[in-house]
Chains A and B, each alone.
Chain A
Amino acid sequence: MIRDITLGQYYPEHSRIHRLDPRLKIIVTLVYIVSLFLVKDFIGYGIVLVTVGIITAISKVPLKFMLRGLKPIVLIIVFTFTLNMLMTQGTILWEWGFLKITKEGLYNAVFMALRLVFLIIGSSLLTLTTKPIKLTDGIESLLKPFKRFGMPTHELAMMMTIALRFIPTLLEETDKIMKAQQARGADFETGSILRRAKALVPLLVPLFVGAFRIAQELAMAMESRCYRGGEGRTKLNALKFRGRDALAIVFTAIYMAAIMAERIFI
């Protein structure tokens, strides 16, 4: 059961969006997030919706996967929506005791909820179309300027790479230890939350010990393969800026221009 956990939410496909430079995708996602805060009315959201729709279509990611990203934050959306709806002062539409719904409140609630939804969908597009390993490469490359200020960018990226590599290994290890404990009568599934949490202690201790052993062995293997940090290291898949990336920049610029124009003139 524990092995079914999928890593990240990458959706394998060979679309133009998938092949874009990860650095560019990260930056464009940031620009997109900023643009969401520039939108001031529903016409603006119309532009956002059309753009996201077009990108999704190009990326060939099924809508189902896009919406799946919303699941974890449904509660937050509902909470924001309700709070906005009830707390805004203005023309009263409906009243019951101390609860009242105003026209402005309703408008605000829908507006905020939409902002959250677009925020999540936009960033899911990044993770759905970019392999975790590429994301790591992209982050490493984007952080490079901070190296001058002593930020260990290569080390951070290497840590993320190794973490990604070892998640399945550690899950397997957890599964093994769990089964070994269950075979000796350990019970992880019944009882109060506190009881279940306590039952996890004998699981976590061997897992930690195992993780340290793995770290030691891996460090030795890396050293014997001449690993000595980022200095003088080449990359198999060096990130390259291509024609399609330039095209993506043009589209991003047009999108931003449309958002600004809408904000200023309409």
Chain B
Amino acid sequence: MNFVKDDKMIRIEDLVFEYGWDEEEAAAPVNAVDHVSLEVERGSFTAVIGRNGSGKSTLAKNINALLLPASGRVIVDGFDTLDDAALWEIRQRVGMVFQNPDNQLVSAVVEDDVAFGPENLGVAPDEIRERIRFSLTAVDMYAHRKMAPHLLSGGQKQRVAIAGVIAMKPEIIIFDEPTAMLDPEGRAEVMGIIERLHEENITVVLITHFMEETLNSDRIVIMDRGRIAMEGTPAEIFSRTAEIEALDLKLPFAVELTARLKERGIDIPAGLITERALSEHLLTLWKGNETSDLCPSE
């Protein structure tokens, strides 16, 4: 097993991944991920967004060696995913939460399910018990530890799935569209926990197709047809509204509102991308200048 000390948590170098062969198009391989290079800093929060089939999920599965590159390399905390001997080191470091909360819970009791990962790692029973306590507490599900998963709501199930990953003490957690099947309440719960984990210095990679969920990230990566189309901080990305719309993605509400207000000649400083920041700004504008052009003559 080769281990090279690496300051980057994840280093993706010119990754190509092929999903079989497209039979109709003269036996040419279809690249789901097409020459992607990306570096993820320790403790950062990276949001990967893109339309269906943009390769974002495939990219995620390449990070914990569920899928292996056709060419290029993926290095996780110094371990190469192509190195068979490093497989379990990588999977222990990279936790993964999937889209469907039902299909990732293994056991018929919540605490047994959280124990599944540590059991696989060969952790001693007393230590597992301790890990169950702290990871279920982290997602506010400790009170439900004896329940059967099918009696929980979608958001609760997803939180149990997250606890199951936390119990393995990962460095990175990849969320593969974790809110896609949840109701608004469940989405808010799960997003709250993701942000809390980020504050606890866990490296977060969030795959999503909800623009709103990317606003609090450190960096946004927009994927399109297997390639990285745009990359930057949320403030940078959302100042390039025309490019985002050209990629068929919906702008976050505050960004779109800002753009429309600008069209009407109202000057709004760049970087107000959350609804809260924008509404506060608009409120001060309005209070400070009641007769301004914000409220045309009445």
Contacts and interface: CB of A to CB of B under 8 A. Distances in A.
B42 interface: no
Q: Which 9 A-B pairs have the closest CB atoms?
A: A221-B104, A236-B115, A168-B150, A217-B103, A225-B117, A224-B96, A226-B120, A165-B108, A232-B122
Interface stretch (B22-30, B87-95, B191-199): B87-95
A223 B96 CA distance: 10
A237 B125 CA distance: 7
Given A172-B150, A234-B125, A236-B129, A225 B107 contact: no
Contacts of A217: 98, 100, 103-104
A224 B66 contact: yes
A8 to B, nearest CB: 10
B229 to A, nearest CB: 27
Contact of B98 (A132, A221, A226): A221
A221 B106 CA distance: 9
Contacts of A133: 107-109, 112
22 contacts: A133-B109, A165-B107, A169-B102, A214-B102, A217-B104, A221-B96, A221-B104, A221-B106, A222-B106, A225-B91, A225-B106, A225-B120, A225-B164, A226-B88, A226-B120, A226-B168, A233-B119, A233-B120, A234-B119, A236-B118, A236-B128, A237-B125
Given A224-B96, A238-B125, 6 more contacts: A214-B103, A217-B103, A221-B103, A225-B164, A234-B124, A236-B129
Interface of A: 132-133, 161-162, 164-165, 168-169, 172, 213-214, 217-218, 220-228, 232-238
A122 B157 CA distance: 37
Given A224-B64, A224-B91, A236 B111 contact: yes
Contacts of A218: 103-104, 106
B150 A228 contact: no
B123 interface: yes
Interface residues of B, number: 42
A218 B125 CA distance: 24
Contacts of B4: none
B148 interface: yes
Contacts of B204: none
B148 A234 contact: no
A182 B237 CA distance: 47
Nearest to A232: B122
Contact of A165 (B105, B124, B168): B105
Nearest to A222: B106
Contacts of A236: 111-112, 115, 118-119, 125, 128-129, 132
Interface string B50-64: 000000000001001
Nearest to B129: A236
B47 interface: no
B168 A225 contact: yes
A9 to B, nearest CB: 15
B128 A223 contact: no
A223 B66 contact: yes
B34 to A, nearest CB: 23
B272 interface: no
A228 B120 contact: yes
B142 interface: no
A69 B128 CA distance: 37
A171 to B, nearest CB: 9
A173 to B, nearest CB: 9
A52 to B, nearest CB: 29
B116 interface: yes
A233 B121 CA distance: 7
A224 B161 CA distance: 12
Contacts of A221: 96, 98, 103-104, 106, 161
A169 B148 CA distance: 11
Given A165-B149, A224-B66, A235 B106 contact: no
